[in-house]
């Protein structure tokens, strides 16, 4: 039986050419796997037909938009995950769901190898291959660009020679990856980190310099999950899409950062994540009134480590699974409403309410009705500072000897 290879297929030039390129280099049949994670653009059927037209023997297509929102975006939201304090893991969280479908397709079509279009310089090669090793340890991995010398100029020449049904004449100077959680742009003009991003690279967000009138929105959560926008019930996917639209119109969620890649280099990235950043902001403010102080402090550390693991391709790792359990436990009381104003590139919270809030008005107020016993404060301060006071006395005594 002829060997079969499943290829993570985007429908673009490189992966379309990779179908025939892999076939010629290995003698194997190629099954194209396209997964919709809310990236928009062409329909899955159009992509499927292009894959077959480029020589794939089978084309596996999956609408994973709700799956992606529920099982990948929501955990990211619950963790308030921002890699290096900036990046909401737009590409990093899409790779595990794609890997899941790649392995599923490999089992369904009897493939022995999984292929992806990553280079040897990026993070995605690690995310794909570590995920595949975990879910399908018997499967082999290849990367045509990295392992079979498929460069862009060779891809264009191959496509023209074979008459493949894809556009080859227009070269976008940027590398772009997008899904419903956000959009990532790199390379080209942006590789000079002194250059400011030009307006043409943005798609999910309008320029914040000339915003429309402020947009006030109320986001409702149950156990850390967004369940309503302005009182209208929504699924997580619908919540992300609605806030992509409304926050994006105000220029919210533009991120320009130089980040540390897993492979050891620094890389300049431009991200657009209006829905993700609005939701993370709202969720964090709701946690501020519903999570106990020490638990909240530790969760911030856990969220940072969670983001690093996911960025580094460890979605399926034991540690990430354990951190998931802790984060999920913290969300028990994270229910309520957050009111925020979207305007001029900012998502500003100006109201919060929750039936499980730890905010006690009678303890917090300075007016009549204050129930806080201020007489206890003096003794508390004396005990709280005792160890530092004793140490300071020791320092003075030693210094004088």
- Separation of alpha carbons 266 and 54, rounded Å: 35
Q: Could you give the count of Cα atoms lying within 13 Å of 203 in the half-sphere of its Cβ?
A: 13
Rounded to an integer, the average pLDDT of 165-194 is: 82
Reading the block at residue 139, the tokens are 């499967």
Which of the pair, 336 or 158, is modelled with greater confidence?
336
- The residues, ordered by sequence, that sit 6+ positions from 211 with a Cβ below 8 Å of its Cβ are 249, 250, 251, 343, 344, 345
User: Among residues 63, 146, 175, 261, which one is catalytic?
Assistant: 175
362 is catalytic: no
Rounded to an integer, the average pLDDT of 89-116 is: 97
Instruction: Convert 38-103 into a string of H (helix), E (strand) and C (coil).
Output: CCCCCCHHHHHHHHHHCCCCEEEEEECHHHHHHHHHHHHHHCCCCECCCECCCCCCHHHHHHHHHH
Rounded to an integer, the average pLDDT of 119-145 is: 93
**Residue in 35, 37, 39, 69 with CA at minimum distance from that of residue 234:** 69
- Confidence band of 314 (pLDDT split at 50, 70, 90): very high
pLDDT reading at 91 higher than 70: yes
107 is catalytic: no
Q: Can you give the pLDDT at residue 254?
A: 97
* Residue range 13-41, pLDDT digits in tens: 888 889 998 988 899 999 999 999 999 88
367 is catalytic: no
124 is catalytic: yes
Q: Can you give the pLDDT at residue 42?
A: 86
* Residue range 47-56, pLDDT digits in tens: 999 999 999 9
Which of 306-315, 363-372, 389-398 bottoms out in mean pLDDT, i.e. has the lowest? 363-372
Q: Could you give the count of Cα atoms lying within 13 Å of 122 in the half-sphere of its Cβ?
A: 21
pLDDT reading at 169 higher than 60: no
Torsion of Cα atoms, 57 then 63 then 69 then 70, to 10°? -100
pLDDT reading at 368 higher than 90: no
User: Among residues 4, 48, 95, 127, which one is catalytic?
Assistant: 95
Query: 248-274 burial string, b = 16+ CB within 10 Å, else e?
Result: bebbbbbbeeebeebeeeebbbbbbbb
User: Among residues 16, 36, 50, 124, which one is catalytic?
Assistant: 124
- Confidence band of 150 (pLDDT split at 50, 70, 90): confident
Q: Can you give the pLDDT at residue 371?
A: 86
* Residue range 265-274, pLDDT digits in tens: 999 999 999 9
pLDDT reading at 250 higher than 60: yes
- Confidence band of 172 (pLDDT split at 50, 70, 90): low
Q: Can you give the pLDDT at residue 187?
A: 80
Rounded to an integer, the average pLDDT of 283-290 is: 98
pLDDT reading at 159 higher than 90: no
Order the strands of the 140-142 sheet from edge to edge.
58-63, 29-36, 4-8, 113-115, 140-142
Q: Can you give the pLDDT at residue 240?
A: 98
pLDDT reading at 241 higher than 60: yes
- Separation of alpha carbons 203 and 217, rounded Å: 22
For tokens 């020449």, the residue is 157
Identify whether the C-beta of residue 92 lies closer than 8 Å to the C-beta of residue 57.
Answer: no
For tokens 């709701």, the residue is 286
Residue 218: exposure state from Cβ atoms within 10 A (0-12, 13-18, ≥19): middle
In degrees and rounded to multiples of 5, residue 27 shows phi and psi of 80, 10
Proportion of the chain above pLDDT 90, given as a percent: 78
**Residue in 38, 80, 45, 77 with CA at minimum distance from that of residue 61:** 45
What pTM was computed for the model?
A: 0.93
pLDDT reading at 366 higher than 80: yes
Rounded to an integer, the average pLDDT of 310-321 is: 97
| Rounded-to-5 percentages of helix, strand, coil across the chain | 45, 20, 35
Q: Can you give the pLDDT at residue 171?
A: 58
Q: Can you give the pLDDT at residue 173?
A: 64
User: Among residues 4, 10, 14, 267, which one is catalytic?
Assistant: 14
* Residue range 68-81, pLDDT digits in tens: 999 999 999 999 99
Q: Can you give the pLDDT at residue 175?
A: 80
- Confidence band of 168 (pLDDT split at 50, 70, 90): low
- Please count the residues of the chain: 401
By three-state DSSP, how is residue 234 classified?
coil
Residue 167's alpha-carbon distances to 11, 27, 170, 302, in angstroms, are: 11, 26, 7, 45
Torsion of Cα atoms, 275 then 278 then 282 then 287, to 10°? 80
């Amino acid at each position: 039986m002829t060997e079969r290879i499943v290829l993570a297929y985007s429908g673009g030039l490189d992966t379309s050419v990779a179908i025939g390129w892999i076939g010629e280099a290995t003698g194997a049949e190629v099954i194209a796997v396209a997964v919709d994670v809310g990236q928009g653009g062409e329909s899955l059927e159009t992509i499927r037909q292009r894959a077959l037209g480029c020589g794939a023997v089978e084309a596996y297509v999956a609408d994973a938009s709700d799956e992606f929102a529920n099982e990948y975006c929501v955990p990211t939201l619950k963790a308030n995950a921002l890699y290096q304090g900036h990046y909401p893991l737009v590409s990093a969280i899409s790779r595990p769901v794609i890997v899941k479908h790649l392995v599923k397709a490999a089992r369904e079509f009897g493939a022995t190898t999984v292929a992806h279009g990553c280079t040897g310089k990026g993070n995605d090669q690690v995310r794909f291959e570590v995920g595949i090793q975990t879910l399908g340890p018997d499967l082999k991995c290849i990367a045509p660009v990295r392992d079979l010398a498929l460069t862009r100029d060779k891809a264009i020449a191959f496509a023209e020679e074979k008459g493949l049904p894809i556009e080859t004449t227009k070269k976008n100077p940027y590398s772009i990856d997008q899904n419903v959680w956000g959009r990532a742009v790199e390379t080209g003009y942006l590789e000079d980190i002194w250059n400011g991003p030009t307006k043409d690279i943005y798609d999910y967000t309008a320029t914040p310099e000339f915003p429309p009138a402020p947009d006030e929105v109320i986001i409702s959560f149950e156990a850390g999950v967004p369940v309503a926008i302005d009182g209208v019930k929504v699924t997580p996917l619908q919540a992300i899409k609605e806030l992509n639209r409304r926050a994006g119109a105000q220029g919210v969620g533009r991120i320009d950062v130089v980040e540390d890649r897993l492979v050891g280099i620094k890389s300049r990235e431009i991200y657009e994540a209006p829905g993700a950043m609005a939701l993370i902001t709202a969720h964090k403010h709701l946690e501020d009134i519903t999570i106990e102080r020490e638990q909240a402090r530790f969760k911030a550390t856990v969220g940072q480590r969670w983001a690093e693991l996911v960025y580094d391709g460890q979605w399926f790792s034991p540690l990430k699974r354990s951190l998931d359990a802790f984060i999920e436990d913290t969300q028990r009381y994270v229910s309520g409403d957050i009111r925020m104003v979207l305007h001029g590139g900012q998502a500003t919270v100006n109201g919060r309410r929750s039936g499980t809030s730890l905010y006690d008005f009678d303890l917090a107020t300075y007016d009549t009705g204050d129930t806080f016993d201020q007489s206890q404060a003096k003794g508390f301060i004396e005990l709280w500072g005792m160890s530092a006071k004793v140490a300071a006395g020791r320092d003075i005594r030693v210094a004088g000897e």
